[in-house]
Structure 1
């Protein structure tokens, strides 16, 4: 049986969290989940522009065996649904994952959407032939694109960061590099929102086309407020074009007290590329992280395997490949 989960039902939510931790940590010794309270706040105060539907799968005895979290864009890319499916490792190969995926496909059809995305994480060496890949293909999914997941061991040597910062500085005259904790100042929100809305269009995504994401200052402010309630810290670095005041580049790091650091995204405006701004903002944010929030084991990031420019920056910083993230897709016109 599959049923909708109330995010304010404490008993069910504890089970959802435990299944997610077990499933996402299976054969991934580096996985470090957010604390339950932080995760629960995020589930109970979602982004209003991307409503969520949380489902639990139960066996005949009424025990929760798996979950499916659907993200349903409200303002852009309204032909798409994104699903995060987890099954308790001890309950795998009993059909629960198949039930959850088929339910997600059916729900996509009910919503009038045409494309469903589900992702899998596998060891870097065998991502294309892993059991998760065979499972996805058996249900009619095809790979849309693949990303290489990399870890940057912390701390990064200070002399490496200083050298990279000095090298980038020689290329970005006319830009200021600014860093912030807990969100950027209100006066910069409109420019940052405009920049972030372009990421979905420019990020490599195989043959899948995306509309510009609707990012507004209000949406960013809501995100910052939610993260404050979660006691989750976001570090942001921006490149500002001094002549125009345009936010030309940004990067974000986010973390909870007990978890590794997530690289949320780095983007350089298409009209301001060629000035090493991507490297400049990443280095500035890492320097802020190591100065004010030391002690985390690593930063994790993922880049589409053909995103040569961003991959080269990450390798120069010291990121190392650990696994492959495959974005699987199904179109109801082809299923």
Structure 2
């Protein structure tokens, strides 16, 4: 039996650059090991989009480890964190090829990733593991909302490594096109207060809205349900919004936005965005949706959702579905999604480990 070696993977500048074959292989490995992706191939991670996400950033740090058997990539470990004195959390994950499981590779990758986090002074790490709906024994989330399969490999693996189970996120799918969408839009507009105005754009954020969008991004990190995960505040600036836009352009993905302005203040108080891959066979990813707390109760979330779906239909039709991830305890957002037609297809368990 050959020795499995773990080493950092240097991220190439582009898929045509030296070393891009390894990055593509690592991307394929992730797709092969994600249960939800296996059941819904439209969820596959596109290496063109992924390589843009993994480029150096002023505001985030990412590292990738790979496990090799005679040069073949058979395991992958991901590390991501924010930059700054308050950034006490790292997000990590380990993926192992099905033919190489139960050989300690996942444990070695996880241990290495935890060491990277600890050496960087992080207080804790978070891991998200996907699973399909199960009729077997379930492990209930401590929030009282949702559960994951108790006997699933990911559940057993993280429990063995002393991670605490904190939360369940529901993975939901909306088939496209949406029947009766224009009627839903008309109804949402009729219910909307005249105190608000709607704005739409596809691609980079207009300069006039970058500061407002940065505030909304920041509030996403503190306002959405996070159970016992205790994520740090993720502070955004106009410069960071612009950097993200440029990375999306490099990755050939298009961001499709709908946002709501509070007319009296002239500020954006809500937004939603969809990340649209270039390949028509892949799903559109529902990114963040937020309405600032002081403006809730006006059905702005429902208005945003249906308006941006109509926006998507105009600027980027032809994709099979929209996929969204929501905390199971986030009943207001789940209700909005269910009313439009989203249905559950899988779940993600959120796990935490204290490092100090």
- Interval containing the TM-score (normalised by the shorter chain): over 0.9
Task: Write the distance in 1 (CA, Å) between the matches of 2:188 and 2:256.
Answer: 22
Look up the match of 1:152. Answer: 174
Asked if the contact 2:192–2:303 (Cα under 8 Å) also holds between the matched residues in 1, the reply is no
Task: Write the distance in 1 (CA, Å) between the matches of 2:159 and 2:174.
Answer: 32
Asked if the contact 2:60–2:81 (Cα under 8 Å) also holds between the matched residues in 1, the reply is yes
Task: Write the distance in 1 (CA, Å) between the matches of 2:149 and 2:326.
Answer: 17
Cα deviation, 1:227-270, whole Å, max 9, x if unaligned, reads 11211111011000111111110000012122210001100011
Q: Does 1:4 align with 2:27?
A: no
Cα deviation, 1:133-179, whole Å, max 9, x if unaligned, reads 1111011111121111100111101x244235423542332111111
Asked if the contact 2:35–2:132 (Cα under 8 Å) also holds between the matched residues in 1, the reply is no
Asked if the contact 1:47–1:219 (Cα under 8 Å) also holds between the matched residues in 2, the reply is no
Asked if the contact 1:183–1:235 (Cα under 8 Å) also holds between the matched residues in 2, the reply is no
2:154 to 117, 132, 137: 132
Task: Write the distance in 1 (CA, Å) between the matches of 2:190 and 2:89.
Answer: 40
1:317 to 334, 340, 345: 340
Task: Write the distance in 2 (CA, Å) between the matches of 1:240 and 1:112.
Answer: 40
Task: Write the distance in 2 (CA, Å) between the matches of 1:302 and 1:36.
Answer: 21
Shift of 1:75: 2.7
Matches within 5 A, 1:239-318: 239-258=260-279, 259-318=282-341
Shift of 1:198: 0.8
Look up the match of 1:207. Answer: 228
Look up the match of 2:163. Answer: 141
Shift of 1:21: 2.2
Asked if the contact 2:31–2:37 (Cα under 8 Å) also holds between the matched residues in 1, the reply is no
Asked if the contact 1:176–1:242 (Cα under 8 Å) also holds between the matched residues in 2, the reply is yes
1:231 to 233, 252, 255: 252
Q: Does 1:122 align with 2:131?
A: yes
Q: How many residues align?
A: 330
Q: Which SS does the other structure have where 1:287 is aligned?
A: helix
Q: Which SS does the other structure have where 1:197 is aligned?
A: helix
Task: Write the distance in 1 (CA, Å) between the matches of 2:85 and 2:339.
Answer: 35
| Deviation beyond 3 Å, 4+ runs, structure 1 | none
Look up the match of 2:211. Answer: 190
Task: Write the distance in 1 (CA, Å) between the matches of 2:58 and 2:93.
Answer: 18
Task: Write the distance in 2 (CA, Å) between the matches of 1:146 and 1:16.
Answer: 26
Task: Write the distance in 2 (CA, Å) between the matches of 1:11 and 1:293.
Answer: 30
1:99 to 97, 100, 108: 108
Shift of 1:90: 2.0
Q: Does 1:218 align with 2:218?
A: no
Asked if the contact 1:26–1:89 (Cα under 8 Å) also holds between the matched residues in 2, the reply is no
| Structure 2 residue runs without a partner (length 5+) | 13-18, 139-147
Q: Does 1:180 align with 2:184?
A: no
Q: Which SS does the other structure have where 1:112 is aligned?
A: coil
Q: Does 1:83 align with 2:106?
A: no
Task: Write the distance in 2 (CA, Å) between the matches of 1:16 and 1:288.
Answer: 34
Calculate the TM-score normalised by the size of structure 1: 0.93
Shift of 1:103: 1.2
Asked if the contact 1:78–1:113 (Cα under 8 Å) also holds between the matched residues in 2, the reply is yes
| Structure 1 residue runs without a partner (length 5+) | none
Q: Which SS does the other structure have where 1:18 is aligned?
A: helix
Q: Does 1:167 align with 2:188?
A: yes
Shift of 1:304: 0.6
Q: Which SS does the other structure have where 1:163 is aligned?
A: helix
Calculate the TM-score normalised by the size of structure 2: 0.88
Look up the match of 2:31. Answer: 21
Shift of 1:76: 6.4
Q: CA RMSD in A?
A: 1.8
